[in-house]
Structure 1
Amino acid sequence: MGTKQIRVSEDLHARVKAEREDGETLGETLERLLGDYGLVDFADDMADVADEHPTVENLEQAIENSDERAREEIEEQLS
């Protein structure tokens, strides 16, 4: 598996670092905190959302709402 560099704020870096367990890299910490949610999970979720929200506007709003909830959950886990 390859690696990528990403830029994050100093605040986010400090919060992830604070969650790091002994011997764990920051990448491993992020993987642990984010869980096993993958592309197939995302596709399944989007299919369900699309069935519930047939118009583009409704779908966009549902995605924005879902993103906001996910951000709040991550913020809660990292704080």
Structure 2
Amino acid sequence: MPKTITIKQSVYDELMGFKKDNESFIELLERLIKSQSKKESLTLLRGSIEFEDKEELLKEIEKKR
């Protein structure tokens, strides 16, 4: 199920610099995530992403633990 996230304009601009021609944003994000450890990825994204429903996200994380 697709999820919507909100990112700062500055983060979007940086992502555009990493994006290859004909590469979708989901492909870019998957490539970036696979290129680093999960902890490093989360650390880099901290403060850059704004979730629509944080409470629901936290509940999902707790279920998976």
Is 1:17 the counterpart of 2:16? The answer is yes
Structure 2 match to 1:4: 3
- Residue correspondences, number: 42
Q: 1:34 to 1:11 in 2, by over 3 A?
A: same
The structure with the largest strand share of the pair is: 2
Q: Which runs of 4+ in 1 moved over 4 A?
A: none
Q: What aligned pairs does 1:30-69 form with structure 2 within 5 A after superposition? A: 30-35=29-34, 67=39
Q: Which has the higher contact order (CA 8 A, sep 6+)?
A: 2
CA offset at residue 4 of structure 1?
Answer: 1.5
Kindly report the root-mean-square deviation, in angstroms, between the aligned alpha carbons of the 2 structures: 2.6
**TM-score normalised by structure 2 residue count:** 0.51
Note the residue ranges of structure 1 that are not aligned, 5 or more in a row. 43-66, 75-79
- What TM-score comes out, normalization by structure 1 length? 0.43
